[in-house]
Chains A and B, each alone.
Chain A
């Protein structure tokens, strides 16, 4: 019985220890092509890899709303103010100056960040997409190790704005099933644990 108690006591700790080593990302979210993806919106070329998140605030939503903004990938549903955030995933790139530029389909520059060394990897810029269409997010890295011209090694991410009708992805149901399963397990554990932990009469 002592061993059983020990097992029940240590199980949550062990499960937690097992989760500690989980690396990015922590939860499935919208990926390239509008599909739910455990890797998030991870995009790469031969040189660099980055995770993209675009955020659009709904103008109908009150400013003090506590709802979390849902990170979008390459398909941005509406025109207007959008925050573009990239996470440079190569560790060495976090010591190198990175510039973000956003161009429209006529190659006109809409937004540009100053060259930034992002020690945490994150670089953000705000852009106002004026009309529906195709845009290009270009990530330039001044790479002192490679000496490759930033124009040649730039990671180009195509963005579409207000061109797709957003709808629930097919795999969203699977995520809900998993969440429900975890919830049911937690409830069951809550009911069983107190009974097992109860001291028994000698």
Chain B
């Protein structure tokens, strides 16, 4: 065998593993499918309140209009990851995973919010540095994850050079359960009833005298 073909053969043999596609896997995470159509993936296990959903959807829509089309995945429990539940608790790895699945030859900013922390991919260097300094969500429940995402999307958009107006972050108390206004109404009604009872009692006593 002459030296030239031998060199070619050796090179092909040595580089073959690098030329082959990366170790393959699958499409088993629900977020990658849902995020093809919408900007936020919400957890299965419990509902994020309507007001918080609305605020987060508005924040991502504003970011998209500003030139920062971020996709957000809220992962509360392993079941939100379907067949790749091994990635629960690994927000950075899952962000990378998700980005590979939903990016189509473009930069696709991705934010993953898990109870343990945040992960990002495709954000650009400035927003990636900002993400590293952001705190983990204030709680484990879906509303806490979503509220963290509302704040984080605003900060990441600003860091990426696409500032948006900060959304008023709704609190848990006003974002799904009864708010303060109905309670005030009930209290006033109780006071009126109590006054009516006392007035009636006094009139009856006066009539007996």
- The judgment on whether A and B are partners is no
